Chain A
């Protein structure tokens, strides 16, 4: 194994591989910052350029670009509350309030350092877990995935902009919107009103562009002031503070990284769920959860560490079983075929050096992203203080072009505009947009796994799956936890009075 680790690194230390890694990282950062375009688009567009080069160089280009998009997503979430893709949503909760408080540099630096630490921890644990993880993955089935998705939904109870009823209503709406289109299980068109466009469903990135970016620009055009008025709020944080924050919260980083690795290992769960789960665990385990949502740096570090580690985890099922951990890993599979590499159990025996090359790519790409990210942070932090009259037309235009570019369908521009208005109204009347998005993310996963569980194990599937039953108990516990905490605090306050 030590030999494979060494030869995996040696394969990357060629001029071509290093150059490709650098190009991939720069390209990924640009794509990540554009609304609606994430790692999947970045990798898909690079595919035609991957033939005829060294295997390690090709993988460095693809994985480097993909990893860089993660931090690119975080940048727009932190600075503008506009997630580049679903992964960056959790960064809006605390990153954006930090920007508004004049701590953009600190937030961006904490995010980049958190992602680096998460990426390295994820890669190390991946290397250690390669021989152990196979039986664990095989022990989990659709019932367990259903429970994981349900856990994600119960997290919704923790997120709210005010009224719990409104928060839950928003999440119900989000789940229902995700059901628009052809039902993958029964092939029934649902809520499509005979529209061919709606048969494909509402594109998730387009909905995000509308809900967050378009609605924020509407608000900004009404206010007529920039996100940060420098005459009122000075940028008084430093990049160094952010680095220290991430290093100081090392235990949170380790926990979040392991969570990200674990979610990445599970096929089909994805980094968007990972980011939200990391945020929820950071809030739930914090001694001061009331700071979350108001600019707590832990709310920035945890999702980024998780997403950094998630990529390493996603490689595991892709390499070991040929089952992609997510959409980006599916594209990596296509690249493998082009390179003549056959994923499967043999990858972990005969091609172990290639596996370790990818582990090294994750580490090196994360280092490159962080170095570049920390270098450009002072300039990025100035963006939120740009005049509203300059920001609104530019961002709105990029949003509409980005919405169109997502699937090349002009109807998506209408969807972005409609969701922009919906997002504006939700914000005005305090229906949580975050809950809406969480509902959308988890809806398909819940429905698909419920149907498969019912088909495989019948109506009493929980009795047949003890792991799923244990997970259900955990879900009930975490759902009750906020109520219990609140009750205990009120009781303690009552005693104090």
Chain B
């Protein structure tokens, strides 16, 4: 899928979000929708302009002096291409899917085993499977890290830990 098609899909998704907001606003009183409703209309207008602009091949903004934040300027990058393009080249489709899976896996572990067992399992698994260290070392690092986080949040900050579905089942 080309970058242009992906951009269009994001724009369509945004249109759906703003349209949904507009639709939901109908149920609110005039005061409650005083700001969200016009904002949603503004959002739709902006996205449509962006969509048209992009498909006309003019993906630049109206002329103004902007500050480009989080640009990630690294010395030696003299290729003149935007950072995202280079990153895109470096990323495999699998790499991206893997990143989503990592977050989903940690989330699933938190829900099933509870928050601290999840931290232990995730850290140990990641360190070992990524080849960062040997299984024994990975386990040792994970024990130390989980203990440190536990002491900090539960001992120091008096957080009540979440025990997960397995914890509830064992109880």
- A residues near B (Cβ < 8 Å) are 30-31, 34, 37, 41, 45, 81, 92-93, 96-97, 100-102, 157-169, 172-173, 175-176, 179, 183, 185-186, 188, 190-191, 214, 218-219, 221-223, 232-233, 283, 289-290, 292-295, 387, 389-390, 392-394, 396-398, 400-401, 404-405, 408, 410, 413-414, 417, 420-421, 424-425, 427-434, 443, 446-447, 450-451, 482-483, 485-487, 489-490
Question: How many contacts between A and B, using CB within 8 angstroms?
Answer: 244
Extra 9 A-B pairs, beta carbons < 8 Å, given A30-B152, A161-B68, A400-B107:
A158-B65, A167-B61, A191-B21, A191-B24, A222-B90, A387-B132, A397-B106, A397-B118, A401-B119
Q: Complex Cα distance A37/B111, Å?
A: 22
Complex partner residue of A397 from B53, B59, B74, B149, CB under 8 angstroms = B149
Q: Complex Cα distance A74/B104, Å?
A: 29
Residues of B within 8 A of A169 (CB): 14, 43, 46-47, 50
Residues of B within 8 A of A414 (CB): 107
Contact yes or no, B70 A164, CB < 8 A: no
Contact yes or no, A425 B34, CB < 8 A: no
Residues of A within 8 A of B122 (CB): 393, 396-397
Query: Contacts A400-B110, A485-B65, A489-B65 hold; do A97 and B100 have CB atoms under 8 A apart?
Result: no
Contact yes or no, A393 B123, CB < 8 A: yes
Residues of A within 8 A of B39 (CB): 172, 175-176
Contact yes or no, B115 A401, CB < 8 A: yes
Residues of A within 8 A of B7 (CB): 429
Residues of A within 8 A of B67 (CB): 93, 158-160, 283, 289, 292-293
Question: For residue B116, which residue of chain A has the nearest CB?
Answer: A401
Complex partner residue of A232 from B76, B82, B88, B98, CB under 8 angstroms = B76
Can you list 11 residue pairs at the A/B interface with Cβ under 8 Å?
A: A164-B66, A172-B42, A179-B35, A222-B90, A290-B65, A293-B71, A396-B103, A397-B119, A413-B107, A447-B35, A485-B65
Residues of B within 8 A of A81 (CB): 70
Q: Complex Cα distance A96/B72, Å?
A: 8
Q: Complex Cα distance A154/B48, Å?
A: 21
Question: For residue B72, which residue of chain A has the nearest CB?
Answer: A100
Contact yes or no, B103 A417, CB < 8 A: yes
The 5 closest A-B pairs by CB, nearest first: A164-B61, A393-B126, A389-B132, A188-B32, A218-B99
CB A92 to nearest CB in B, in angstroms, measures 6
Residues of B within 8 A of A100 (CB): 72-74
Query: Contacts A185-B31, A186-B29 hold; do A214 and B126 have CB atoms under 8 A apart?
Result: no
- B residues near A (Cβ < 8 Å) are 6-7, 10, 14, 17-18, 21, 24, 28-29, 31-32, 34-36, 39-40, 42-43, 46-47, 49-50, 53, 59-76, 82, 84, 87-88, 90-91, 95-96, 98-100, 102-104, 106-107, 110-111, 115-116, 118-119, 122-123, 126-127, 130-132, 145, 149, 152-153, 157-160, 162
Question: For residue B47, which residue of chain A has the nearest CB?
Answer: A169
Contact yes or no, B64 A157, CB < 8 A: yes
Contact yes or no, A392 B102, CB < 8 A: yes
Contact yes or no, B103 A420, CB < 8 A: yes
CB B20 to nearest CB in A, in angstroms, measures 9
Query: Contacts A165-B53, A410-B110 hold; do A401 and B70 have CB atoms under 8 A apart?
Result: no
Q: Complex Cα distance A133/B65, Å?
A: 36
Complex partner residue of A41 from B64, B157, B160, CB under 8 angstroms = B157
Q: Complex Cα distance A429/B123, Å?
A: 30
Residues of A within 8 A of B21 (CB): 176, 191
Query: Contacts A160-B67, A414-B107, A429-B7 hold; do A398 and B149 have CB atoms under 8 A apart?
Result: yes
Residues of B within 8 A of A408 (CB): 159-160
Question: For residue B49, which residue of chain A has the nearest CB?
Answer: A165
Contact yes or no, B31 A186, CB < 8 A: yes
Question: For residue B76, which residue of chain A has the nearest CB?
Answer: A232
Q: Complex Cα distance A435/B62, Å?
A: 17
Contact yes or no, A483 B100, CB < 8 A: no
Contact yes or no, A482 B64, CB < 8 A: yes
Contact yes or no, A93 B69, CB < 8 A: yes
Complex partner residue of A218 from B36, B43, B102, CB under 8 angstroms = B102
Residues of A within 8 A of B95 (CB): 221-222
Question: For residue A214, which residue of chain B has the nearest CB?
Answer: B103
Q: Complex Cα distance A397/B117, Å?
A: 11
Q: Complex Cα distance A168/B18, Å?
A: 13
Complex partner residue of A223 from B70, B90, B130, B152, CB under 8 angstroms = B90
Residues of A within 8 A of B102 (CB): 218, 221, 392, 396
Question: For residue A286, which residue of chain B has the nearest CB?
Answer: B67
Contact yes or no, A160 B69, CB < 8 A: yes
